[in-house]
Amino acid sequence: MDLEDLVVHMADVGVRRAKNNLLSEVNWSVELDERWVILGPNGAGKTTLLKLAAAELHPTTGEVHVLGEKLGRVDVFELRPRIGFCSAALIARIPPEETVLDVVVSAGYAVLGRWREAYDQLDTGRALDLCKALGIGHLADRLFGTLSEGERKRTVIARALMTDPEMLLLDEPAAGLDLGGREDLVARLSDLARDPDAPATVLVTHHVEEVPPGFTHLLLIADGGIVAQGLLEDVLTSENLSKTFGQDLELDKLGDRYFARRRA
């Protein structure tokens, strides 16, 4: 397959900081219709990997292609608007006095460089539709600072989708949510994964319980290296999970959801 047809392509990638290998020998490709979960313990290198895919970081060694463009050879400021990126860091930067609708609709300004006054009804309508799809339509006029953690997560996902990105990157979207909030988010992400018009998606998580049905591929990572990758149903096994987390873990599947615990 041509590199131009791949959403992400990493060849022998390494990232080094202060004599530490944050990532090493990473070979990974994402195709247009794939939905990937990246799973691994704290400090494994998941966020570092996602930042490379988001064109927010350059590799120390190896080559990274994002949306057909090689990092180092492309203007990342032209590339980034084509990518929807959700993280806790982004949530922390959103002013609490912005309304939900403004948070979502303003994603377009960053891309189009428009003035605040210039947005039209088409943008507002699209933002509202996205809010509804993520179950926050009734909160459109609420101030961001008054939202629950789960509602904030859904707001930034709607914002990331506002620009119709070619790739959606989600860094631990379910972190900090209660059981109901997590289940609701997993269901929304599952709907998104099954939508053929949705962009290629990469979701980072620590927990198999957060794998939304409909996601197709899995990359397991530990200590900056890939433990296993491929089709989710092949790769998500007790053995691979035990290797990744360095414990004897038992994986169960109930319906289309996964659960894991340490073997007694």
Secondary structure element (H or E) that encloses residue 140, with its range: none
CA distance 44 to 24: 11
Cβ-based nearer residue to ligand ATP, 105 or 218: 218
Total chain residues near ligand ATP (CB under 6 A): 13
Are the C-beta atoms of 203 and 148 separated by less than 8 Å? Answer: no
SS3 64: strand
Residue 20 binding ligand ATP, by CB under 6 A: yes
Stretch that binds ligand ATP, among 29-37, 40-48, 105-113, 176-184 (CB under 6 A): 40-48
Residue 22 binding ligand ATP, by CB under 6 A: yes
Stretch that binds ligand ATP, among 42-50, 61-69, 113-121, 132-140 (CB under 6 A): 42-50
Are the C-beta atoms of 219 and 226 separated by less than 8 Å? Answer: yes
Are the C-beta atoms of 160 and 167 separated by less than 8 Å? Answer: no
**Tokens standing for residue 146:** 């008054």
- The nearest distance, CB 210 to ligand ATP, in angstroms, is 13
Residue 121 binding ligand ATP, by CB under 6 A: no
User: Using CB under 6 A, which residues numbered 188 to 227 contact ligand ATP?
Assistant: 206
Select from 9, 35, 46, 159 the one that contacts ligand ATP (CB under 6 A): 46
Going by their DSSP bridges, the two strands 6-17 and 61-66 should be labelled as antiparallel
Phi, psi angle pair for 139, to nearest 5°: -105, 10
**Tokens standing for residue 134:** 């993520």
Select from 3, 5, 17, 125 the one that contacts ligand ATP (CB under 6 A): 17
Select from 13, 44, 94, 158 the one that contacts ligand ATP (CB under 6 A): 44
**Smallest Cα–Cα separation from 2: which of 34, 31, 33?**
31
- The nearest distance, CB 129 to ligand ATP, in angstroms, is 32
Residue 45 binding ligand ATP, by CB under 6 A: yes
**Smallest Cα–Cα separation from 249: which of 204, 186, 203, 207?**
207
Are the C-beta atoms of 168 and 90 separated by less than 8 Å? Answer: no
Residue 145 binding ligand ATP, by CB under 6 A: no
Select from 13, 36, 39, 40 the one that contacts ligand ATP (CB under 6 A): 40
Stretch that binds ligand ATP, among 44-52, 96-104, 117-125, 134-142 (CB under 6 A): 44-52
Positions that interact with ligand ATP (CB under 6 A): 17-18, 20, 22, 40, 42-48, 206
